[in-house]
Copies of this chain bind each other. A is one copy, B any other.
Amino acid sequence: MTDPLPPRPSFALAPPARVGMAVADVDTPALLLDLDAFEANLAAMTASLADTGIRLRPHAKSHKCPEIARRQIAAGAVGICCQKASEAEAFIQAGIGDVLVANEVVGDAKLRRLARLAGQATLSVCVDHADAVRDLEAAMAREGARVDVLVEVDVGASRCGVEAGPAVVTLARLVADAPHLRFAGLQGYQGSAQHVRSAGGRRDAIATAGRLLRECVDLLRSAGLDPRVVTGGGTGTYLNEATSGVYTEVQAGSYIFMDADYARNLDAAGKPFAAFRQSLFVLSTVMSRPTDRRAVVDVGLKAHSVDSGMPLVADVAGATYVNVSDEHGVLDLAGDRVSLGQKLRLIPGHCDPTVNLYDWLVCYRGERVEDVWPIAARGAFY
């Protein structure tokens, strides 16, 4: 379990596309990346943060793809976030030099993995419990390594994190006193604010998060502890964190792809949030045309995560993806007709868990496949 990286199960599939082929010839289901839209999103993020002085540390849990991480760093990101030690391992193996595991790491096997990585890159990790500090210190000591540690604060999402206030100082002190840990600062991720539809609702949630974190920063400084980093933020709110005066870096991830759920967010003018373009699609094949109104595509639950709703049908006016099963999606055709064998692009309901179903990302420009990138950290959930 702790040996480095023996192979996956024996059966292995070729990528669904070759460089140079037409998108219409790509085998399905396939995860498509529109490179023009992706590159525009990279540039839009860089531009939007240019005057803030805030660092960008994009969350790689969205893409799990080292090629994308490299392009994010080339566009100005200081490094990446991961959620898991094994995910960090995939990116560090691929040469990414600065990784924050923006999550708690609990359990012997995971801590051993993390400690091995600490000598290979600039690595940081979150804690929210005294026992976790003890176990992290022990794992780093066994490996003779040191790691930067952030105390996670619950800023309103009611998931992980300690309550803002004196408990943060107590935990930070434990970290600072541990010989193999370095207290680096705070994480305050307001996950439940990302999909609040109104811009005002998102702004108010992050104002609360910023106020709580400011209190913690003041308490820490009074105690002689310097929180050099205050990190958090997602695609729905990152500009709120960036202008809060307390966050030093933002962790947005989905901005490179977008999805149907993020597209339902509204901007300050009450219009659909359009700072970033839809670059991610699932390519499907029409595999059955049983009735005039009904088409069935070969993308079901194993090729698209429905946790945030059904995918949208791009390119076909009046088509609605109305029913999903393991390997099938049923479309209702109220407008344009489609033919058996036709390839249709779908817009994912939720990008992150959909990407995690695929081994390959098929990158295209116009109608041609330009590259095929491995989603190397797919399934890296340890």
Q: Does A315 contact B (CB under 8 A)?
A: no
| Complex CA–CA separation, A307 to B302 (angstroms) | 11
| Complex CA–CA separation, A356 to B300 (angstroms) | 12
Interface size class of A (residues with CB under 8 A): 35 or more
Binding-face segment, A14-22, A39-47, A235-243, A273-281? A14-22
Binding-face segment, A105-113, A178-186, A257-265? A105-113
CB A244 to nearest CB in B, in angstroms, measures 22
Residues of chain B with a CB closer than 8 A to A104's CB: 287-288, 296
Residues of chain B with a CB closer than 8 A to A159's CB: 288, 290, 296, 323, 325, 328, 330
| Complex CA–CA separation, A237 to B2 (angstroms) | 44
Flag if A109 contacts B27 (CB, 8 Å).
yes
Proximity string of chain A (138-165) to chain B, C-beta cutoff 8 Å, 1 when within and 0 when not = 0000000000000000100011111100
Flag if B327 contacts A84 (CB, 8 Å).
yes
Q: Write the chain B residue with the least CB distance to A21.
A: B1
Flag if A327 contacts B290 (CB, 8 Å).
no
Residues of chain B with a CB closer than 8 A to A84's CB: 327
Residues of chain B with a CB closer than 8 A to A11's CB: 5, 89-90, 93-94, 374, 376-377, 380
Residues of chain B with a CB closer than 8 A to A302's CB: 352-353, 356, 381
Residues of chain B with a CB closer than 8 A to A306's CB: 307
Q: Do A29 and B285 form a contact, CB below 8 Å, given A13-B86, A326-B353, A327-B84?
A: no
| Complex CA–CA separation, A13 to B2 (angstroms) | 10
Flag if A14 contacts B3 (CB, 8 Å).
yes
Q: Does A217 contact B (CB under 8 A)?
A: no
Residues of chain B with a CB closer than 8 A to A356's CB: 302, 357
Flag if A106 contacts B191 (CB, 8 Å).
no
**Which residue of B29, B89, B290, B374 contacts A128 across the interface (Cβ within 8 Å)?**
B290
Q: Do A12 and B8 form a contact, CB below 8 Å, given A106-B287, A159-B330, A330-B159?
A: yes
**Which residue of B110, B132, B379 contacts A13 across the interface (Cβ within 8 Å)?**
B379
Proximity string of chain A (353-382) to chain B, C-beta cutoff 8 Å, 1 when within and 0 when not = 100111110000000000000111111111
| Complex CA–CA separation, A99 to B83 (angstroms) | 39
Residues of chain B with a CB closer than 8 A to A154's CB: 290
- A residues adjacent to B (C-beta < 8 A): 1-18, 25, 27-29, 61, 83-84, 86, 89-90, 93-94, 103-110, 128-129, 131-132, 135, 154, 158-163, 191, 285-290, 294, 296, 298, 301-303, 305-307, 323-328, 330, 340-341, 350, 352-353, 356-360, 374-382
Q: List, sorted by A's number, 23 A–B pairs whose CB atoms are closer than 8 Å.
A: A3-B14, A4-B14, A5-B14, A9-B359, A9-B360, A9-B374, A11-B94, A11-B377, A25-B109, A29-B382, A103-B287, A106-B285, A128-B288, A129-B288, A131-B341, A154-B290, A159-B328, A160-B290, A160-B296, A163-B290, A301-B305, A301-B307, A307-B324
